[in-house]
Structure 1
């Protein structure tokens, strides 16, 4: 691996990490899960997915900071 690729990896790693922490890819993972395990199930829009997810978190907070 050349030096430029190594530097690019070091720069993009925190961005990828925070994207995972904040759930950036959660909708895509959910859609893949539905297609794989529930092929006949309707797929919600991304907006519907996040609305339901946030509503569920408000109803059942579990452990979180606030």
Structure 2
């Protein structure tokens, strides 16, 4: 194998590695976006639940006062 063939193979390997790296980076970015969206939705749901708990506590307190 000549030096020129080795250089070509090295360039081919480099291109494959770059393609894989780009794909992995894109997958990580997609996962990050998905995770951020899920976290936001969970925080919104948590706020709703906390609000509902507060309302139920108020109702419970009013019921206790009546009895």
Q: Which has the higher contact order (CA 8 A, sep 6+)?
A: 1
TM-score (norm 1): 0.35
Which structure: greater helix fraction? 2
TM-score (norm 2): 0.35
Q: Tell me which structure has the larger Cα radius of gyration.
A: 2
